[in-house]
Structure 1
Amino acid sequence: MDLDLRLVRYFVVVADELHFGRAAARLHISQPALSKQIRRLEGELGFRLLARDSRHVALTPDGIRFLREARVLIAQAARMMRPEDAGLRVAHIFDLDTSRIVVDAFADRFPELTVIASSMDSQRQFDALVNGLLDIAILRVTPAMTAGHPSGWRHRPLRLEPFWIVSRADDPAAESTSLLDDTLEVFADPRGSALFNAHGEYLAALEAHLGVPFRWLGNPGTFDQCLARMHRAPRGARLLEFESYALRYRRLGMRVQRPAGLLPVYPWSIAWRDEPLSAAASAFLDVSAEVTAGRSWLDPDSSTPRWQPSSSGVVHAGHDAR
């Protein structure tokens, strides 16, 4: 029997989500079509991979074993189909600057090495990384990633990126403002939407911590789209935005204020597969560590207590927030 790698990839996504609806959304196919393909794979194998009823999906013992081998198979297939000198594959998230800064530093140090950069959100980066389609991911590591994949990859903190509050150019100027002064707007998709992702998960946790509802604006994507939305916004708009974007807004005349009382920070990590590294990947990790240290990325300059989702909730300034 010849295994269809496409069906194997479908199974891996279902196994990650343990929910056919979410898996189908990630794969951009319909839920009935996905169910049909999984049944086809089980028929070809001759054993059940999933135990499912109207409310739950779980891996069978054979499914657990097959999943472990499926991840190895998919990663190996990706390596086999890739030319040896194809370049180092990394990813970035829209126009945010964390990965760009690291890639620029790497390119300055090793101009002879090719970097292939793609735009993906954190979950897509993670999927691509564990399936052998990326060499380096720069993303937010979520509890679901570490729980679903306890081995086969490694990661370390790269940056704690502060959030700032952006308002229109004709709004009153101030150095700082409380997160609780008025409604905050966020460029993200809320929980329950098809595009809810790691960024939305972070913001939902912050919303719950503050105890006030955000105004969720969806995710326009690029900075230019976000800027256009801010130009259309009424007076008094308060956008909670990554520092990467906030400083660009300020250069274009928008008001930018530091949060007072509590500073949300976004935990970016760098991740790689737990296998012998190429010389280029090893060099990239070394450069990323130098950039983190040189820019004090893990210790943002602020006397305000920092916050990120964690078991303890608040991480105080000056403390390692890992």
Structure 2
Amino acid sequence: MMDLTLRDLEYVEMIAQERSITRAAARLHMAQPALSQSLQRIERRLGVRLFERTSRHLAPTPAGDVLAAEARDLLASVQQAIVRTRVAGGLPEVLRVHVSESSLITPRRILAAARAHVPGAAIHQTTLPRRDVAENLLNGELTLAVAGSIRRAGLQSVKVRDERIGVLVGERHPLAGVDVVGPAQLADHPILSIDPEMSSWDAWVTSYLDDHGVTARWSKEVVFGLSTGSDILHDADTVMLTLESVGRDHLDGLVWRPMSPARSVPWFLTYREDSLRDSPAVAAVLRVVRRLAHDQGWTP
């Protein structure tokens, strides 16, 4: 019998995901030489090469693809077994929920509704780099994600609402005095950049402005989080493209103005497809969120 541990499977799955020993080691919180040695040991035990390596490239072999896919499913099954065991022992089911921007009103209302109406679950909120979210949902490290749509086999995204886009500026900013802001009016102002490791927002803004022949001029500062970003906006020059719900929050010294032509971005609740079968709490959260979206007028 081949002697592979769950940790070995985690190594293979992470290397396949990252296509890099160095990046995989960093995410596994271990030294790169130790991970390389572990991979060599796994390949010797299996008698097959799992990855093709060059000085600039690493990719799974057909055997590596098979083991990485099986490892992902097995690791997720182990996570589900732990969940079911804890629940059978009388402990609450832990739902690990990624939220792309925890300060915004939409995810806050979703989480508040889930906590109020699914009392048998313990909701652990986190925010991960966007490139890690899909894999963590698939391998069971995450249960749900409140963010944009995540398109991966094995995952399901349910739209919760659309939110109109607008501009957030300081009250002394020239755009604070207009009713509606057009893309061309942003050409003369730096746009606050959102950390691309955590969010795809800058890419969305770039695409939106490109559609209207405007080149984004980004701020020198890069931030993540509305509270941090709002401090910079008091310079009366920088602008921040953000969601309509932000304009309804109390933001001292800032004003929100809608964009025209109007554009909206969607919020989704994403989960692993088989979690509806394995987790009563996930199914309950989905029902609660659908009801919330209907009651709030977010969906028909």
After TM superposition, is the score higher than 0.5?
yes
Contact 1:125 1:139 in 2 (8 A): no
Whole-angstrom CA distance in 1 between matches of 2:206 and 2:25: 23
Whole-angstrom CA distance in 1 between matches of 2:60 and 2:120: 42
1:139 aligns with 2:142: no
1:167 aligns with 2:164: no
CA deviation profile, 1:219-258 (whole Å, cap 9, x unmatched): 5334332232223xx223211123343433x542312111
Question: In the TM superposition, what is the alpha-carbon distance from 1:35 to its structure 2 partner?
Answer: 4.4
Structure 2 match to 1:282: 283
Equivalent residue in structure 1 for 2:191, among 172, 185, 208: 185
Change (3 A) 1:294 1:109: same
Contact 2:244 2:258 in 1 (8 A): no
Contact 2:92 2:120 in 1 (8 A): no
Task: Trace 1:205-216 onto structure 2 (pairs within 5 A).
Answer: 205-210=207-212, 211-216=214-219
Instruction: Please tell me the residue identity of whatever aligns with 2:40.
Output: R
Whole-angstrom CA distance in 2 between matches of 1:24 and 1:197: 23
Whole-angstrom CA distance in 2 between matches of 1:206 and 1:58: 34
Contact 1:189 1:217 in 2 (8 A): no
Task: Trace 1:118-157 onto structure 2 (pairs within 5 A).
Answer: 118-121=125-128, 122-142=130-150, 145-146=151-152, 150=153, 152-157=154-159
Whole-angstrom CA distance in 1 between matches of 2:106 and 2:143: 17
Give the aligned length.
284
SS in 2 for 1:116: strand
TM-score of the superposed pair, with normalisation by structure 1: 0.75
Equivalent residue in structure 2 for 1:225, among 225, 228, 232: 228
Question: In the TM superposition, what is the alpha-carbon distance from 1:101 to its structure 2 partner?
Answer: 0.9
Whole-angstrom CA distance in 2 between matches of 1:216 and 1:40: 48
Question: In the TM superposition, what is the alpha-carbon distance from 1:12 to its structure 2 partner?
Answer: 1.9
Instruction: Please tell me the residue identity of whatever aligns with 1:293.
Output: H
Whole-angstrom CA distance in 2 between matches of 1:298 and 1:140: 16
TM-score of the superposed pair, with normalisation by structure 2: 0.79
| Structure 2 gap ranges (5+) | none
Structure 2 match to 1:97: 105
Whole-angstrom CA distance in 1 between matches of 2:32 and 2:246: 36
Question: In the TM superposition, what is the alpha-carbon distance from 1:69 to its structure 2 partner?
Answer: 1.0
Change (3 A) 1:293 1:159: same
Question: In the TM superposition, what is the alpha-carbon distance from 1:215 to its structure 2 partner?
Answer: 0.5
| Structure 1 gap ranges (5+) | 300-322
Question: In the TM superposition, what is the alpha-carbon distance from 1:75 to its structure 2 partner?
Answer: 0.9
Whole-angstrom CA distance in 2 between matches of 1:219 and 1:227: 12
Whole-angstrom CA distance in 2 between matches of 1:27 and 1:244: 37
Question: In the TM superposition, what is the alpha-carbon distance from 1:286 to its structure 2 partner?
Answer: 1.1
Whole-angstrom CA distance in 2 between matches of 1:43 and 1:260: 61
> RMSD of the TM alignment (CA)?
3.0
Structure 1 match to 2:242: 241
Whole-angstrom CA distance in 2 between matches of 1:103 and 1:74: 26
Structure 2 match to 1:86: 92
Change (3 A) 1:243 1:219: farther
Contact 2:191 2:216 in 1 (8 A): no
Whole-angstrom CA distance in 1 between matches of 2:237 and 2:199: 28
Instruction: Please tell me the residue identity of whatever aligns with 1:185.
Output: I
Contact 1:123 1:198 in 2 (8 A): no
More helix, by proportion: 2
